[in-house]
Amino acid sequence: MNIIPPGSTIGIIGGGQLGRMLSIAAAQLGYRTHIFAPEPSGPAADVCAKWVQGAYDDAGALLRFADDVSVVTFEFENIEPAPLIPLSQQKPLFPPYHALEIGQDRIREKTFAEDCGGRTAPWAKVESRAELEAALDQIGTPAILKTVRFGYDGKGQARIMSRGDADAAWAALGPGSPLILESFVKFSHEFSLIVARDQAGSIVFWDAPENVHKDGILSTSTLPAREDVRIHIPAARGLARKIAEKLDYVGVFTIEFFATYEGPVFNEMAPRVHNSGHWTIEGAQCSQFENHIRAITGLPLGSTKAMAPHIVMTNLIGDDVDRWQTLASDPNIRLHLYGKNEAKPGRKMGHITHIEMPR
Ligand code: AMP
């Protein structure tokens, strides 16, 4: 057990809004954070003690970064894992390196979830135009073609509604990067599990939010999820527990599921705090960000109990953020802005949490 006392410095790889909210939670517990990111600045820059600019694949720069901190974590999984091996030999790295390797690769994560007893959508590996045809023969349509690595917020995906869409999908994503063809799941709803595991092996779950995506980007997370979703939670939690134990996971991770008539279908896993857990900042006794900091510093995990009967988190995407004044004047809304300058379409600029307090 690595107990890192308050007053120490936590290193975070990645400097976006997740790094910003992790840094705020760390500061509340008396920790300082240093951020390592390739950009000159980012949402976490306003709230960290030090910003170190460096490439994610620069093993030397990562080692120097680790020198100055007591423990290292990451808020972004689309980084080359190899440079983190020497770092993890020098400083505690949580979540463990192999969780990053699995979580960033759709084929490895699906295989891993299946090995743990989970159900996934039928899928096939695609590395050439001919393999795409063979995969379509096997999987059928509708289907989704995705990059195996480095996809997020609906990027790196192309829908194939009928065989006629295959050329356009291949032109958009192939060749060059390994791809996966997934059958289109006829889900009734989507939900996620946000899970924390500490260094002693204790696991806690927050209530599972029901999630709505628009254009592949999370739009809302609602608590409680409807009954049709809640019936799947025990099976989903059983799978999450197996995954956490097999990875000897430390920190917060998230699994996204499809709710179907045959049970929960594993979609993907993020080895980090997650957008569908932002509601926990005000909506739970201890947020996903605080419990991640607690897990990696060896503190006991806090209670995940929901603080209100009805909670909705809504992302502010692109120019949604222009409504900030109206949102700020609603007493039932907690407004979070990430300090990003330019409201590009599809860019997460902030979020709001609407909390209905018990009467
Ligand atoms: P992902 O990046 O894989 O989480 O995909 C983003 C969103 O696209 C999901 O949350 C779903 O709304 C949709 N999606 C992805 N894969 C599938 C699938 N195999 N079947 C149906 N919808 C999907």
- For the chain, where are the E strands, in sequence order? 9-13, 32-37, 50-53, 71-74, 123-126, 143-147, 157-160, 179-183, 189-197, 203-205, 210-214, 217-223, 251-260, 263-270, 310-317, 333-337, 348-356
The answer, yes or no, to whether residue 357 has pLDDT greater than 80, is no
pLDDT band at 358 (very low <50, low <70, confident <90, very high): low
Residue closest via CA to ligand 1's atom 11 equals 216
Distance 273 CA to ligand 1 centre (A): 19
Distance 216 CA to ligand 1 centre (A): 7
Give yes or no for residue 182 CB within 6 A of ligand 1. yes
- pLDDT, residue 359, reads 60
Distance 122 CA to ligand 1 centre (A): 13
Give yes or no for residue 304 CB within 6 A of ligand 1. no
Q: Which atom of ligand 1 lies closest to the CA of 256?
A: 4
Residue closest via CA to ligand 1's atom 7 equals 216
Interacting residues of 248 by C-beta distance below 8 A, sequence separation 6+: 96
The answer, yes or no, to whether residue 177 has pLDDT greater than 90, is no
Give yes or no for residue 256 CB within 6 A of ligand 1. yes
Q: Which atom of ligand 1 lies closest to the CA of 121?
A: 19
Q: Which atom of ligand 1 lies closest to the CA of 156?
A: 2
pLDDT, tens digit, for every residue of 219-240?
999 999 999 999 999 999 999 9
Q: Is 238 exposed, middle or buried (0-12, 13-18, 19+ CB in 10 A)?
A: middle
pTM of the model: 0.96
Give yes or no for residue 189 CB within 6 A of ligand 1. no
Give yes or no for residue 109 CB within 6 A of ligand 1. no
